[in-house]
């Protein structure tokens, strides 16, 4: 039955990336596959067993091909993990039990194989032996591949969507979001997540509407269902009626008219009505985003996330490989500045297939990540630092460290950088001797010792995403408590005021590169608190520039003063929202 004839259902989630999309749903089930169950006629049972044999052969060929490619491109040690996968396909007990289940039940072979393989997976997973438990994972992966082949399905993939679709998923990892098919994805909807999860940040940079924190949306929809995704109000409307489609058509017309006005001012200067210039820069994580940043007249790159060069590789990129990538970005943006952040791996961004480098942690966000990881893996860190230094010869490069928690930690990082500078001098490799070095302020201890950190660096960049989650003890990717993640909490505003004051006292500029910077509701508050530069996803530059040109800095300072006097985060947000709405008319 056509899903558009079904009853309309409205599901509320968390608005994560603005925009409206209408289309059919593609359910991205990372490891699960929907298996039909039906009775096989007696005369077709021999053919059914033959179909099972062919699926096993095809699966074996697929895994062998993957193994050979990994061995060729990465190495034999990494390829060896697929030996266990191949052994699963030769497991006589698994295959024999599947056929016996088929002979006794008469149900289709997919149903029988799924039942038996699931029983094995559960049995292995419950055994108190690490090797056996890992084999449960091997079996699960292979079983899903066999089922895909039995059903004649290509594996669910985000980098080759067959047509334009709304992607619905339980969760999407950073590396998965990086492979999202930009030409075919209409919107992103997730069971889990928050406004600052990495998949959402990617969606914003791609100008995709996104709604997260939907709890069980993947269980309520099927491939091909029609839906409206409202990234403004955080709503997903399943099976929308004609009247709903008409209403959203009118809303979309207004939004498009407003977006056209935004684009008109995107090539003009970001100067307030009372003549104060504001620096607006772009956050990027891949070199192809430079074109968008330049198209929207970014005044440079305020945050270049380098970890995606590592997340999209099964091995650690070499110094030379990193140099080529950094150099391409720096040359493309020259003479504008590019602020390159050193590796922020760990937390929600572990490097796949590197268990020895990224051991499992109970609380990874507060664990072995970012600068802590780099200082312990100094050779990997030094490769990156040398690559950044060499790239500085080709343009205007600034370097900054993530997750600095103390002046001592900053000193250690700077000492490693000094070693790299000495090594390059010894090799007679040119680099910018005057390259500015700054630090992220995203841990409360760093914020409270801003005066000490300021003595060892040239600038601050406030990462509001992590700073808010650490200060408020709110896991920003936990959908159950995402509503408690409040950028307008008085503790956050007081901390921002303190950091800015200490930096300015020592003549250091301060930028904000967290998601607050790209939200036009919060941008005036940040500028009113004294922030010098806002860096955001390139797609948000026109919205923020439009608001900057529609306000006075005097009013922004008055807004900040009023906000600091209030006690309720919701009341502060209401003041910011009213400030925004008074200056930006959609109609």
Q: Nearest to residue 466, comparing CAs of 210, 246, 259, 196?
A: 196
Say how far apart CA 200 and CA 514 lie, in whole Å: 13
Say how far apart CA 530 and CA 557 lie, in whole Å: 8
Tell me if residue 440 falls in helix, strand or coil: strand
H/E run at residue 531: none
Parallel/antiparallel/unpaired status of strands 337-341 and 301-305 = parallel
Contacts of residues 111-115 at CB distance under 8 Å and 24 or more positions apart, as own/partner, are 111/35, 111/36, 111/37, 111/38, 113/52, 113/143, 113/146, 113/147, 113/150, 114/35, 114/143, 114/147
Q: How long, in residues, is the chain? A: 587
DSSP assigned state of 277:
B
Cβ of 202: how many Cβ atoms within 10 Å?
25
Q: Nearest to residue 581, comparing CAs of 550, 554, 553?
A: 550
Alpha helices in 277-369 (DSSP H): 290-295, 308-311, 319-333
Residue 198: active-site member? yes
H/E run at residue 376: helix 370-376
Tell me if residue 510 falls in helix, strand or coil: strand
Q: Nearest to residue 34, comparing CAs of 109, 118, 144, 132?
A: 144
Using CB atoms within 10 Å of the CB of residue 153, give its burial: 0 to 12 exposed, 13 to 18 middle, 19+ buried: exposed
Sorted by sequence, the CB contacts under 8 Å of residue 407 that are 6+ apart come out as 449, 452, 453, 455, 456
One of 297, 420, 457, 513 is an active-site residue; which one? Answer: 513
One of 198, 297, 420, 533 is an active-site residue; which one? Answer: 198
Dihedral sign for Cα 143, 149, 155, 156, please: negative
Say how far apart CA 195 and CA 210 lie, in whole Å: 9
Give the count of alpha carbons within 13 A of 553, CB side only. 13
423, two tokens: 């090594």
Sorted by sequence, the CB contacts under 8 Å of residue 351 that are 6+ apart come out as 310, 311, 345, 357, 358
88, two tokens: 């699963």
* Cβ-contact 387, 427 below 8 angstroms: no
* Cβ-contact 161, 26 below 8 angstroms: yes
Phi, psi of 9 (to 5 degrees): -130, 130
Say how far apart CA 309 and CA 316 lie, in whole Å: 9
H/E run at residue 69: helix 45-73
* Cβ-contact 236, 189 below 8 angstroms: yes
Parallel/antiparallel/unpaired status of strands 235-238 and 9-12 = antiparallel
Residue 533: active-site member? no
Tell me if residue 349 falls in helix, strand or coil: strand
Catalytic residues: 198, 513
């Amino acid at each position: 039955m056509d899903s558009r004839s079904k009853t309309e259902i409205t599901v509320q989630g968390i608005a994560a990336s603005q925009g409206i999309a209408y289309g059919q749903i593609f359910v991205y089930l990372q490891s699960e596959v929907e298996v039909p169950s039906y009775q096989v006629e007696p005369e077709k049972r021999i053919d059914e067993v033959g179909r099972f044999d062919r699926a096993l052969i095809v699966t074996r060929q697929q895994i062998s091909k993957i193994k050979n490619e990994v061995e060729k491109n990465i190495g034999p040690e990494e390829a060896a993990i697929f030996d266990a996968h191949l052994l699963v396909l030769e497991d006589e007990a698994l295959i024999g039990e599947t056929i016996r289940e088929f002979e006794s039940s008469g149900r289709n072979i997919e149903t029988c194989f799924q039942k038996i393989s699931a029983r094995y997976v559960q049995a292995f997973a419950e055994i108190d032996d690490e090797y056996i438990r890992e084999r449960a994972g091997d079996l699960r992966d292979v079983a899903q591949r066999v089922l895909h082949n039995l059903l004649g399905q290509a594996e669910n993939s985000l980098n080759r969507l067959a047509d334009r679709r709304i992607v619905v998923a339980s969760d999407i990892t950073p590396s998965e979001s990086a492979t999202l098919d930009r030409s075919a994805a209409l919107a992103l909807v997730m069971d889990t997540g928050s406004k600052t999860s990495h998949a959402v940040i990617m969606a914003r940079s791609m100008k995709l509407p996104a709604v997260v924190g939907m709890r069980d949306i993947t269980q309520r929809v099927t491939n091909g269902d029609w839906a409206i995704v409202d990234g403004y109000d955080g709503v997903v409307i399943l099976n929308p009626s004609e009247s709903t489609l008409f209403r959203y058509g009118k809303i979309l017309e207004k939004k498009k008219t407003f977006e056209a006005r935004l684009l008109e001012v995107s090539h003009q200067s970001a100067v307030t009505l009372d003549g104060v210039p504001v620096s607006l820069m772009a956050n990027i994580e891949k070199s192809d985003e430079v074109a968008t940043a330049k198209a929207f007249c970014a005044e440079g790159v305020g945050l270049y996330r380098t970890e995606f060069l590592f997340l999209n590789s099964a091995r650690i990129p070499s110094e030379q490989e990193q140099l080529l990538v950094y150099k391409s970005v720096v040359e493309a943006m020259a003479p504008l500045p590019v602020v390159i952040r050193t590796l922020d791996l760990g937390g929600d961004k572990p490097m796949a297939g590197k268990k020895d480098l990224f051991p499992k942690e109970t609380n990874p966000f507060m664990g072995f990540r970012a600068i802590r990881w780099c200082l312990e893996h100094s050779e990997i860190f030094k490769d990156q630092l040398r690559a950044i230094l060499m790239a500085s010869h080709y343009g205007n490069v600034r370097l900054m460290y993530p997750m600095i928690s103390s002046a001592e930690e900053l000193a250690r990082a700077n000492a490693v950088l000094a070693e790299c500078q000495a090594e390059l001098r010894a090799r007679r490799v040119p680099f910018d001797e005057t390259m500015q070095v700054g630090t992220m302020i995203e841990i409360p201890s760093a914020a409270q010792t801003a005066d000490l950190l300021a003595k060892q660096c040239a600038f601050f960049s406030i990462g509001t995403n992590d700073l808010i989650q650490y200060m408020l003890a709110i896991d920003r990717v936990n959908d159950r408590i995402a509503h408690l993640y409040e950028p307008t909490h008085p503790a956050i505003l007081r901390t921002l005021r303190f950091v800015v004051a200490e930096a300015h006292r020592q003549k250091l500029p301060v930028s904000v590169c967290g998601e607050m910077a790209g939200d036009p509701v919060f941008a005036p508050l940040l500028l009113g608190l004294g922030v010098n530069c806002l860096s955001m996803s390139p797609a948000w530059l026109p919205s923020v520039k439009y608001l900057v040109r529609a306000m006075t800095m005097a009013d922004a300072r008055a807004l900040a003063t009023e906000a600091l006097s209030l006690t309720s985060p919701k009341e502060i947000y209401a003041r910011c929202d009213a400030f925004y709405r008074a200056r930006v008319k959609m109609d």
